[in-house]
Amino acid sequence: PTRPTTEVITTSDAQQVSSIDVHPTEPWIITTNNVGSLRSWNYKTMV
């Protein structure tokens, strides 16, 4: 069986992540932090 891989993605201005959610059918990841910022990424295109 193939084991899943994990890749950590961060930037120099990254804040502590307080929540993360992954869309069940689309390649989207949404995160929030303790400052109140919400960020979304398409994990296939990294945009």
In terms of residue numbers, what domain contains 23?
Answer: 16-47
* Rounded distance between C-alpha atoms, residue 37 and residue 5, angstroms: 27
Q: In the chain, how many domains are there?
A: 1
pTM across the whole model: 0.58
Sheet bearing 28-33, strands edge to edge: 17-22, 28-33, 38-42
Does residue 11 form part of some domain? Answer: no
Does residue 22 form part of some domain? Answer: yes
Q: 1-33 pLDDT, tens per residue?
A: 677 777 766 666 666 888 889 999 999 999 888
* Rounded distance between C-alpha atoms, residue 38 and residue 35, angstroms: 9
Does residue 20 form part of some domain? Answer: yes
pLDDT at 25: 93
Does residue 8 form part of some domain? Answer: no
* Rounded distance between C-alpha atoms, residue 40 and residue 4, angstroms: 22
Does residue 6 form part of some domain? Answer: no
